Structure 1
Amino acid sequence: MSITTTAHLNFRGNAREALEFYHSVFGGDIAIITYGDFGMPKELPDAGKVVWGQVAAADGFRVMAYDVPGQTVAGGAPQPSTRRENGMTLTGEPFFLSVRGETVEEVGALWERLADGATVIEAYGPAQWAPAFGMLTDRFGITWILDVAAPYAHA
């Protein structure tokens, strides 16, 4: 048996924008289906929102997303609730997304693109446990950890 795990992100009216941004960062293929595509009358407010979307890249990156019906965030993404204090990560969030690569350069390039409009929690750079590590909350309120696998780490 073979299984995969994919993060499925729930947005409040900006799933299309988020998926398009993640596609610009990670590349690959993007698919977006709206409630209207599934038959919701086009005149209803949610018809243009995303009922299912996905970004999938050949390197294994994959994320799915949708817009929760009837909910829209005024003014964009929620404020990040993750911060670093005294060497500790403090958060009220139920999860982070982690992207791990093999080289400082490849992960650094992803960091630069993902950091556009983000709140940096810990700048990307060398860490005690990895050749490079960084943490940010993107413009959509999703917190990401990007790091480079240490020689002893197992994915």
Structure 2
Amino acid sequence: MSVTSVTHLNFRGDARAALEFYRSVFGGDLAVVTYQDAGNVHDPAEADHVMWGQVVAGNGFRVMAYDVPARMPWERGENSFFVSLRGETTQEITAYWEKLCAGASIVRPLATAQWAPLYGMLQDRYGIVWVVDVAAGHQG
């Protein structure tokens, strides 16, 4: 038996753009269902907003997202969650880092850390904080 944890990101009208951006960084397949597609339109202005969407890549990356309807409370928040991106090689992580940096604010530059060969943190152009590192074995 196994369980999978997938980060689910909540937006207000930016979900499609964010998912397309993440697909451009990590590759993979994008699936989007709008409120119109699902026959669940409460506000005509939101018919093309994302009711459910995801990016699934062969390299193991997976993220889900949707646009919170205006009738529901939502705030972008600050430090309410991080997306952790962990890879096996410095080359792999550096390539993702460079792509995620487009329009981002660097919280901590990608560099060697006491606990990892590479570690960095950034807030992407959609306000999502990414913690990026190269996996290292626990040394006790």
Q: TM-score, normalised by structure 2?
A: 0.90
Deviations for 1:17-41, whole angstroms, at most 9, x for unmatched residues? Answer: 0000000001111101100101246
Matched, 1:101 2:87: yes
SS state at 1:45 partner: helix
Instruction: Please name the residue that 2:113 is paired with.
Output: 127
Instruction: Please name the residue that 2:6 is paired with.
Output: 6
Question: 1:152 Cα deviation (Å)?
Answer: 2.8
Output the aligned Cα RMSD: 2.0
Question: 1:57 Cα deviation (Å)?
Answer: 0.8
Partner amino acid for 1:129?
Answer: W
Deviations for 1:36-57, whole angstroms, at most 9, x for unmatched residues? Answer: 101246x811100000000011
SS state at 1:16 partner: helix
Instruction: Please name the residue that 2:133 is paired with.
Output: 147
- Figure out how many residues of one structure are paired with residues of the other and give that number: 136
Deviations for 1:51-109, whole angstroms, at most 9, x for unmatched residues? Answer: 000001112111000000127xxxxx95x84xxxxxxxxxxx22111010011111000
Q: Distance in 1 between matches of 2:27 and 2:108?
A: 24
Partner amino acid for 2:62?
Answer: R
Q: Distance in 2 between matches of 1:55 and 1:96?
A: 17
Q: Percent identity?
A: 56
Q: Distance in 2 between matches of 1:111 and 1:58?
A: 18
Q: Distance in 2 between matches of 1:45 and 1:58?
A: 35
SS state at 2:44 partner: coil
Partner amino acid for 2:93?
Answer: V
Matched, 1:18 2:22: no
Q: Give unmatched runs, 5+ long, in structure 1.
A: 72-76, 82-92
Instruction: Please name the residue that 1:67 is paired with.
Output: 67
Q: Distance in 2 between matches of 1:20 and 1:145?
A: 20
Q: Distance in 2 between matches of 1:139 and 1:111?
A: 13
Runs of 4+ residues over 3 Å off in structure 1: none
